[in-house]
Chains A and B, each alone.
Chain A
Amino acid sequence: MTRKPYLREVPRLRWFFRHPRYLRYLARELTCLFIGAYTLLLVVGLTRLAQGPDAYAAFLDALGSPVGIAFHLLALGFSVYHSITWFNLTPKALPVQIGDRFVPDGVIAGAHYAGWALASLVVF
C-alpha cells in the first residue's frame, strides 16, 4: 500500500479568523502598539523639553488639542485592555505553591492589580 499523506496548508494571513480565541489573542498583542506609541510620545516630549520652554509649551498645546485628547483616550482604552488581559494570565506563569497547595489564581492576579493601583497612586 502506498502512503501519500496530504497536508492541508494553514492560511498565512487568515488563520486568526478560524476561531474567536485567535482574534482575542491578536487584540491582546496588537493593543501593545498603542503602548509603544505612547512611549514614543513621551520621548518626543522629553526632546521638546530639552529644546527649551517655547518648544515644550508648543508640545503641551498639541497634547491639549482635540487630536491629542482623542489619541490619549484611545491609547488609554487599549492600554487598559492590554494590561488586564496580561494580568489575568499571570497566575499561569507565576504559580506560587505553599505547602501542598497553590495560591488561588485570583490572589496572584489581584497582587498585580494592587501593584498597578499603587504605582498609579505614586505617579499621581
Chain B
Amino acid sequence: MSERAVELEVLRYNPETDSAPHFQRYAANCREEWVVLDALNFVKENLDPTLSYRWSCHMAVCGSCGMMINGEPKLACKAFLRDYPGVIRVEPLAHFPIERDLVTVIDDFVAKLTRVKPYLIPKEVRSLDAGEYRQTPAQLKRYKQFTLCINCMLCYAACPEYGLIPTFIGPAAISLAHRYNQDSRDGGRAQREEEIAATEGVWECSFTGACSEVCPEHVDPAAALQQVKIKSTIDWYLAHTMPWLTR
C-alpha cells in the first residue's frame, strides 16, 4: 500500500470569529486507495480537530458527506484520491448557506422535501385483514430507479437554476414526488401536483441535466422532471379542452 502526501485546500468558516470563509491548506499523509473523506478524517484526527464536516456511513448510502471536490459536487466517501492528482480543493456544497466549515444549512431542502409529500398516500384504504398491497414486477420497475435517491443534495449543488432561483423545489424533491406518483399503490398525485406542477416546481427547470450527471446513485432526476413536465402539460390540456374527462 503506497502512501501519498496529499495537499488539501479546505474552505473554513467559523461563524463565531469569521466574517467570510477562507481556504486553509493541510498536508495529509494518505494511502493511495483512500477517499477524500479518509483524508479529512486524517486531518481531523491528526492535524486540526476543529475541522467540521458531516459524514456517517462511508459507503455512499447515507448521503451525508456531499461536498464540492475540485468544484464538482461529490460524496467525499466516493471520491478516490487516485482520481485527484495535485492539490484537492474541498468546499461545502454549492448553493447552500455554510453553517461552519464544510457543514451546510439544509433546512431549505428538508422543507421542500416535506412539501412534496414523499410518502405513499394509498389509493384505497385497506384494512389489515385485506392483506398487503400487491404489485407486479412491471409496476415496481416503473418507479424503482427514483427510489434510489439518498437525499445527498449533490443535484442541488449542480443545478444552476437552484443557484439562481432558490425558490425552485429542485431535482431530488421533485424526483421523489414523481417516484410516488408512478407507484401503482399511490393515489396522491393530485396533492403533489399542487407543488411540483407549479412555477416553482418543474417549470423552473430548464433541463441543464447537471443533476443527473452528478447523481451518485444514478437516479436521473432530470428524467423525472421532464416526465413530470409532460404529465402536467397533458393534465392542463385535458382540463382545458376536455374537462368532463378529468372530473
CA distance A22 to B157 in the complex (A): 13
Distance in Å: Cβ of A19 to nearest Cβ of chain B: 7
B137 within 8 A of A: yes
Distance in Å: Cβ of A55 to nearest Cβ of chain B: 40
A1-48 residues at the B interface, CB under 8 angstroms: 1-8, 10, 12, 15-16, 18-19, 21-22, 25, 29
A93 within 8 A of B: yes
**Known contacts A6-B21, A22-B160; is A92 also within 8 Å of B222 by CB?**
yes
B163 and A10 within 8 A (CB):
yes
Distance in Å: Cβ of B57 to nearest Cβ of chain A: 25
A101 and B71 within 8 A (CB):
no
- Chain B 1-34 per-residue mask, 1 if CB under 8 angstroms from chain A, else 0: 0000000000001011010110000000000000
B209 and A89 within 8 A (CB):
yes
A54 within 8 A of B: no
A100 within 8 A of B: yes
B105 within 8 A of A: yes
For B98, give the chain A residue with the smallest CB separation: A6
A70-99 residues at the B interface, CB under 8 angstroms: 89, 92-95, 97, 99
CA distance A3 to B107 in the complex (A): 13
A102 within 8 A of B: yes
**Known contacts A3-B15, A6-B98; is A15 also within 8 Å of B160 by CB?**
yes
A8 and B94 within 8 A (CB):
yes
User: Could you count the A-B residue pairs with CB atoms below 8 Å apart for me: how many are there?
Assistant: 80
B223 within 8 A of A: yes
CA distance A22 to B158 in the complex (A): 10
- The B interface is mostly helix, strand or loop, or mixed, namely mixed
Determine the chain A residues whose CB is within 8 A of the CB of B142 once the complex forms.
97
B232 within 8 A of A: no
A92 and B71 within 8 A (CB):
no
B220 and A92 within 8 A (CB):
yes
Determine the chain A residues whose CB is within 8 A of the CB of B20 once the complex forms.
6
CA distance A89 to B16 in the complex (A): 47
Closest 3 CB pairs of A and B: A5-B97, A93-B226, A4-B15
Query: Given known contacts A4-B15, A6-B13, A15-B164, what 14 new A-B pairs fall within 8 Å (CB)?
Result: A1-B16, A5-B105, A6-B15, A6-B20, A10-B94, A10-B95, A10-B164, A21-B210, A92-B209, A93-B226, A93-B229, A94-B230, A99-B138, A100-B137
